[in-house]
Amino acid sequence: MINADGLTLRLWTEADVPALVAAYADPDLRRWTQLHADTVPAALAWVAVQRDGLANRTRYGFAIVGSAGGPILGTVALKRADPDGPRGEVGYWTTAPARGRGLAPRAVSVLTDWAFAAFPELRAIDLRHRLGNLASCRVAVKAGYPLIETLPPEAPGRDGGHLHTRAA
Ligand SMILES: CC(C)(COP(=O)(O)OP(=O)(O)OC[C@H]1O[C@@H](n2cnc3c(N)ncnc32)[C@H](O)[C@@H]1OP(=O)(O)O)[C@@H](O)C(=O)NCCC(=O)NCCS
């Protein structure tokens, strides 16, 4: 559990499945994310991805809550394809009612500070978003992740993206 800047970041559990299903009822959340948790089986699988990632040190996924025991406001995760490598990647979303209050930039900043302190070998964290996701671009800039480059579409007919990176 991480407590900083008035936020608590805590690990996901299966008790969070109803809150996950409710959050993923939002079409914007489904539009901009790849792994959906909009049914009970999908949400159980989503929680298992967080748990397995923690076990193999490739994903540190946290629920964002205003205080311990409070309702879920979003998620933020540090992903490490190489668990001992110098680069990581951050991912996040906030629930529809929690948006527009600077929550995601705060949570990304808290996770980033924690990650650089917890993993001294980690030298840079990347943040990728699709070009059309202007809200996510604002999160990157407000969380101190400058734009590094514009990325080509991953497949024909798809949107390109932005790579933002914050160095340790
Ligand atoms: C992108 C997202 C995480 C931003 O979270 P947030 O907690 O609302 O962050 P902020 O309050 O800092 O708002 C960021 C931008 O969202 C837009 N915004 C403001 N109010 C909003 C609202 N009520 N609803 C949606 N977007 C809003 C604004 O462009 C804002 O930028 P600004 O502060 O320069 O005006 C959130 O909209 C979300 O979860 N979207 C769906 C999933 C997603 O896109 N995840 C990221 C994938 S890369």
Say how far apart CA 122 and CA 58 lie, in whole Å: 13
Place domain 2-167 in its CATH homologous superfamily.
Gcn5-related N-acetyltransferase (GNAT) (3.40.630.30)
- The CB of 82 under 6 Å from ligand 1? The reply is no
Q: What percent of the chain has pLDDT over 90?
A: 93
Of 74, 99, 92, nearest to 20 by C-alpha is 74
Pairing status of strand 147-151 against strand 124-130? unpaired
Which two three-digit tokens encode residue 37? 């948790």
**Ligand 1 atom 45: the closest Cα is on which residue?**
93
**pLDDT score at 50:** 98
Say how far apart CA 144 and CA 30 lie, in whole Å: 25
Mean predicted confidence (pLDDT) in 53-76: 94
CA of 98, closest atom in ligand 1? 7
Ligand 1 centroid to residue 115 C-alpha, Å: 23
Say how far apart CA 147 and CA 166 lie, in whole Å: 9
Ligand 1 centroid to residue 99 C-alpha, Å: 6
Mean predicted confidence (pLDDT) in 128-147: 97
pLDDT of 27 > 90? The answer is yes
pTM over 0.85: yes
Mean predicted confidence (pLDDT) in 19-25: 98
- The CB of 43 under 6 Å from ligand 1? The reply is no
- The CB of 138 under 6 Å from ligand 1? The reply is yes
Ligand 1 centroid to residue 64 C-alpha, Å: 15
* 70 vs 128: which has the higher pLDDT: 128
**Residues 109 and 139 sit within 8 Å (Cβ to Cβ):** no
- The CB of 26 under 6 Å from ligand 1? The reply is no
- The CB of 75 under 6 Å from ligand 1? The reply is no
Residue ranges of the domains in the chain? Answer: 2-167
